[in-house]
Chains A and B, each alone.
Chain A
């Protein structure tokens, strides 16, 4: 809508009351804080047409006002100026000062709600020793708030998360991954869904840093300490650099424990095929980090089956979930960013446990065979793929596919192409894999020391 205003077209947008602050902050990020809105009590989703009509009846005067009165007449509370670059916390002793720091960070929204490590100048300086990059180098500008992610700001948040200096290169590469246009960070960070960045580390650096690829790789526990703090650093960076603060621009309806930290290393020793990053074009000896937005996951317990077909059928049953937004979404088009012209598909991520991977490979199946099986078998009738969507969105968005409305029982794959199934080998012994419901595509970046 800001672009339309810049093109000389007055606009007003329907916005639910609970999203007005988010709308204002988003509009501010694009330079027009006072972008007019007409406020409806509740989101228009999950409402009957009659309920929607009543909501619009209640705010039609705001529509006329928004289109006929200058937005400058809307009184805005002045935004608080940025806090100082250095803060001093006083306390009777170190512990009290630390308590007060954490209380302050909670009050300002700079915290993920777990106690933080204080980012003292000395600790940040030590963290910066983990990279050769200059402290004021801009690694990325992160949406939704267009925050300037310098090496130093990233390092500050890495200290807070509990990272050690040797973890910083992984964190920097993860930031580069989420800033890649193909990651669609703006959508991932602002959604009403529980979008969490899942980090997957490959290459020699995983062993060097002790990033756990085996039992309990996703935590909790000391064996996954690097995993936990690297994942946590990325969340703090989403917030304090990208401005994806919960309730302000991160509008996640319920939230998710995944959003605190979600980081694993691939178990390359147990992987019977080429490692994940090699598939993405890297050399086996290179270290790389992949970040993929995920909604959530399901345990895939299969202790019984010993053939690829039966094992993968278990995974098919997990993948064919109509409650997940990405199921069948390809029928309405690709995710896109009109500014960069990037278009991406939704991908799911299968973390195969070593046993399951070994069984599949023992029968001579490749990753491509796995993908082909999943693609062909993870199908649902068209009417179920549309269960959570209105026919009008297909008619408007993909008129070329309207004919499908006449064939409600026609089975279609949940993803557009087999390559939408990503596969990594992760975890310890015992026949439990994990299937992640993904949004958008994963992005892989090299880790530079």
Chain B
């Protein structure tokens, strides 16, 4: 007996994005610390900055959180633009 059925899964819209170019050396770079306001994220970024400061002479840090949201914050296009101008790299938290 052959039961023919239709696939319930929808096609998906495929997005493509290119990763940013990476410099091989972070010394002297400006690193953004992006916190989405989830608990623990601020402590994580603080520790990351401490450790990187020990390893990477001249590195500087700036903190960001998203412009919109409540329990967790999300970055708007203008947030992203500002970060792109002010930072050479970003460490983000938390994707749970």
List A residues at the B interface (Cβ < 8 Å).
1-16, 19, 22-23, 26, 29-32, 34-35, 37-38, 40, 43-47, 49, 52-53, 55-57, 60, 63-64, 67-72, 82-94, 96-98, 100-101, 105, 110, 118-121, 124, 141-142, 145-150, 152-153, 156-157, 160, 192, 236, 240-241, 243, 251, 325, 329-330, 332-338, 343, 389-390, 392-393, 396-397
Contact = CB atoms under 8 A, between A and B. Distances in A.
Given A68-B24, A71-B19, A92-B1, A329 B70 contact: yes
A338 B94 contact: no
Interface of B: 1-26, 31-32, 34-35, 37-44, 47-48, 51-52, 55, 65-71, 73-77, 79-81, 83-84, 87-96
B22 A330 contact: no
Contacts of A30: 15, 17
B69 to A, nearest CB: 5
B70 A335 contact: yes
A338 B77 contact: yes
A8 B80 CA distance: 10
Contacts of A19: 95-96
A239 B77 CA distance: 29
Contact of B38 (A44, A100, A145, A150): A44
Given A71-B19, A251-B96, A389-B39, A148 B12 contact: yes
A52 B1 contact: no
B1 to A, nearest CB: 5
Given A3-B75, A241-B10, A343-B68, A101 B51 contact: no
Given A14-B92, A120-B5, A147-B11, A6 B17 contact: yes
A96 to B, nearest CB: 7
A45 B40 contact: yes
Contacts of A152: 6
A121 B32 CA distance: 54
B11 to A, nearest CB: 5
A118 B92 contact: no
Contact of A8 (B21, B31, B43): B21
Contacts of B73: 333, 397
Contact of B2 (A38, A90, A337): A90
Nearest to A72: B19
Contacts of B67: 338
A31 B37 CA distance: 25
A55 B41 CA distance: 11
Contact of A5 (B3, B4, B19): B19
Given A147-B10, A332-B70, A70 B18 contact: no
B10 to A, nearest CB: 4
B84 A4 contact: yes
